[in-house]
Amino acid sequence: MLKGLVGRVSVFLLGAAVLTALLGLVMPLPAPAAVASPPPGLPAKTVNLDWPAYGQSAIGAQGYGLLVQHGKTSPAPTASIAKIITILAVLKKKPLGTNSSGPTITLGQSDVNAYIMYLRDDGSVVPVQAGEKITERQMIEAMMLPSANNMAYSLVMWAFGSLNAYNSYANRFVKTLGMTHTTIADASGFSPHTTSTADDLVRLGLAAMNNPALARIMYESSANLPIAGTIYNTNRLLGTDDIVGIKTGNTDQAGGCFLFAAKHTVQGKHLTIVGGIMSAPNLDTAELNARTLLASVDKNFKHYVVVPANMNVGAYTTKWGQRTTVATKSDVSLLVWQGQPVTIKETLSKIKLPIGAHKTVGRLSAIFGGQTASVQLINKSPLKSPTTAWRLVR
């Protein structure tokens, strides 16, 4: 009996050993451990710009966002630059195609009264009359070119029904553009209580340049209205120094204000530079300083190979003693504004074995503002599955 018992125990133990071995062969393999070792990004460097000596100014670029600001950042009157906010708010509710005239609006006595009021207060106007039929595009042209305050009133009354409704909407709308220091008190900017900062105005200018219909209108040198006839753009720098817009402003309380955009080619890359100048002694001074400021922008952009090709940035290791280095497949290059840092982000994938050499195993990105340059990551050597012996004893 004892001999039979020993035999049964031996069979049991042998079966357990075989089962353990089989489990070792079929159980999932532990995934190779991934260790990312991204290089440091580029630190910010000092920029050198020819800033105005007064007020506040800022510079940005499409695709990069706000780049740098200068001077005090307390809100100040915007003057007619506020009309850009008005137009973008209206276009949000009443979109206009790039070449479209939009709906036709019939003006009434309240529009004539607004004209008379602004004319009396020495504001910029275009003549209108009751019963005049004018398109949405023509109303925007009247606001953008001769900076007609009365047309800003008429446009928001058509789109929003009342100035209060417009003000309420616009104060919410500017927050969606990142304009956190801006307050809207009227549609034209004639009120000194419509205030903003230079950095907020640059954000506004970037949004305006992203609207094809508005970007085209602001570049017009003239247009025709039903009653006023031919109107002309008050932006005297249009076409000078590659300037393609945006809006001038000038009141006793605001001084000279200028929000401008220019098309530049910097080290082979086409950029739209947007700048804002507020609280100049007068509009002439603001325009003169805008040209000087623009001329100093390009030298602060530099093209860098942020991460070179074949740079080791990580590794995979297995529990059975294999290792492969991870490297960049090609250069990572960026046109960088030197005043802001470049950060590096790296992601390594979970890989399946076996895997050959030079396979894509992740991605590395260099990030600056709105700009991102990415490269594939590859493993330099293969990783094999473990031996049967290792799997049996693990």
Residue 314 pLDDT > 60, yes or no?
A: yes
144 and 65 within one domain: yes
Alpha carbons 237 and 110: distance in angstroms, whole number: 34
Least confident stretch, 22-36, 223-237, 292-306, 369-383:
22-36
253, 299, 307, 312, 358 from 362: Cα distances, Å: 56, 35, 15, 13, 11
291 and 150 within one domain: yes
254 and 203 within one domain: yes
Q: What's the pTM?
A: 0.86
192 and 81 within one domain: yes
Query: So what's the pLDDT on residue 233?
Result: 96
- Among 370, 59, 51, 47, which Cα is nearest to 198's? 59
**Residue at a domain's end among 252, 267, 295:** 295
Domain assignment of residue 9, yes or no: no
Alpha carbons 341 and 13: distance in angstroms, whole number: 65
Alpha carbons 273 and 56: distance in angstroms, whole number: 17
Q: Determine the average pLDDT of the residues in 18-35.
A: 67
**Percent of the chain with pLDDT strictly greater than 90:** 87
Q: Which two tokens stand for residue 370?
A: 């709105």
Confidence of residue 2 (pLDDT cuts 50, 70, 90): very low
Least confident stretch, 2-16, 291-305, 327-341:
2-16
355 and 259 within one domain: no
Domain assignment of residue 211, yes or no: yes
Residue 5 pLDDT > 90, yes or no?
A: no
Query: So what's the pLDDT on residue 96?
Result: 96
350 and 276 within one domain: no
* 61-107 tens-digit pLDDT: 999 999 999 998 899 999 999 999 999 999 999 999 999 999 999 99
**Residue at a domain's end among 251, 274, 295:** 295
Q: Which two tokens stand for residue 127?
A: 């003549």
Q: Which two tokens stand for residue 195?
A: 């205030």
Alpha carbons 313 and 38: distance in angstroms, whole number: 5
Alpha carbons 302 and 304: distance in angstroms, whole number: 6
Query: So what's the pLDDT on residue 4?
Result: 52
Q: Determine the average pLDDT of the residues in 372-380.
A: 96
Query: So what's the pLDDT on residue 388?
Result: 82
Domain assignment of residue 23, yes or no: no
Query: So what's the pLDDT on residue 11?
Result: 45
Domain assignment of residue 21, yes or no: no
Domain assignment of residue 12, yes or no: no
Q: Determine the average pLDDT of the residues in 20-45.
A: 78
**Residue 151, phi then psi, degrees to nearest 5:** -75, -30
The Cβ of residue 345 has, within 10 Å, a number of other Cβ atoms equal to 14
95 and 201 within one domain: yes
Domain with residue 35: its CATH number is 2.60.410
| Number of domains into which the chain is organized | 2
Element (H, E) at 9: helix 2-26
Confidence of residue 3 (pLDDT cuts 50, 70, 90): low
Where are any strands of DSSP class E within 206-268?
222-225, 229-232, 243-251, 255-266
Domain with residue 178: its CATH number is 3.40.710.10
* 175-200 tens-digit pLDDT: 999 999 999 999 999 999 999 999 99
**Residue 67, phi then psi, degrees to nearest 5:** -100, -45
Contacts of 180 (CB under 8 A, 6+ apart): 200
* 95-145 tens-digit pLDDT: 999 999 999 999 999 999 999 999 999 999 999 999 999 999 999 999 999
Confidence of residue 20 (pLDDT cuts 50, 70, 90): very low
177 and 322 within one domain: no
Domain assignment of residue 338, yes or no: yes
Residue 17 pLDDT > 50, yes or no?
A: no
Domain assignment of residue 373, yes or no: yes
Alpha carbons 51 and 45: distance in angstroms, whole number: 17
329 and 286 within one domain: no
Domain assignment of residue 312, yes or no: yes
What mean pLDDT value characterizes the chain?
A: 92
13, 25, 48, 59, 173 from 85: Cα distances, Å: 83, 68, 30, 18, 9
**Residue at a domain's end among 295, 314, 330:** 295
Alpha carbons 18 and 24: distance in angstroms, whole number: 10
Residue 12 pLDDT > 70, yes or no?
A: no
**Residue 266 near residue 303 (C-beta atoms within 8 A):** no
Confidence of residue 391 (pLDDT cuts 50, 70, 90): confident
Which alpha helices (H) appear in 210-355, and where do they start and end?
212-218, 283-295
252 and 136 within one domain: yes
261 and 155 within one domain: yes
37, 78, 179, 194, 344 from 182: Cα distances, Å: 43, 9, 6, 8, 33
Alpha carbons 257 and 279: distance in angstroms, whole number: 6
97 and 171 within one domain: yes
DSSP assignment of 335-389 equals EEETTS-BEEEEEEPPP-SSB-TT-EEEEEEEEETTEEEEEEEEESS-BPPPPHH
* 145-170 tens-digit pLDDT: 999 999 999 999 999 999 999 999 99
Q: Containing domain of residue 203, as a range?
A: 56-295
